[in-house]
Amino acid sequence: MFRGKWLSLDRILEQLNDASLKILEKTGVKFFHQEILRILQNSGIKVIGQTAFFSSHQILDWISKAPVTFSVYARNPQHDIEIGGDRIELAAGYGAPVIIDEKGNRRPALFSDYKNFVKLIHQCPLFNINGGILVQPADLGVGESFPLMLYAAMIYSDKALIAGAGGEKETNIVFNMLDIVFGKESLRSRPRIMTIINS
């Protein structure tokens, strides 16, 4: 409700879209990687310090280039997914730092917990996506956690993959792993993995 009136879902989504475009243009987004800032600036984006300001025209132009739908291919074709359009795909929760056992005791999540979650998700017919940061294993270092979690997801599941992004080094390791399993050319024509990125 807004000012005593019920708004339609379309109107609410329109207001969220307008507010998002305003934030991108007026407040901007702070980036922490100099190469990305250089690429943005060379692409016509206004950059002040570490903050990039995107005009609504630039955002809408780039969005118009995105496909309405795209596919992510699993090792097992039964789990191939299509994102977009009217399709909905579910993925498990993301980034839990602790495990709570059946007695309510809390403890740090471990890599063994991660592997157990990968196996559980593989068995669940509601999910065609597996991997990512199902839990953040406290017994793995930051630099090794993303590749090892992806390795576990590839060993224990044949569903479409999602993975943690990590830094440049971790991302290169992840892509080298995918090249070994699927082949470099295959990745170009048949996307095999998704990730969540931020500035």
The pTM for the full model equals 0.80
Q: Which helix (H) or strand (E) segment is 54 a member of?
A: none
Residue 187 pLDDT:
80
Q: Is 86 exposed, middle or buried (0-12, 13-18, 19+ CB in 10 A)?
A: exposed
Residue of 85, 120, 128, 83 whose CA lies nearest to 99 = 120
Quote the pLDDT of residue 8: 87
Q: What is the pLDDT of residue 35?
A: 93
Q: Which residues contact 154 (CB under 8 A, 6 or more apart)?
A: 75, 131, 161, 177, 181
Per-residue pLDDT in tens (0 to 9) along the chain, 199 residues: 455 567 788 889 999 999 999 999 999 999 988 999 999 999 999 999 999 999 999 999 999 998 999 999 999 999 999 999 888 898 888 888 999 989 999 999 999 999 999 999 999 999 999 999 999 999 998 778 989 999 999 999 999 999 887 778 888 898 899 999 988 777 888 899 998 877 6
The pLDDT assigned to 1 comes to 46
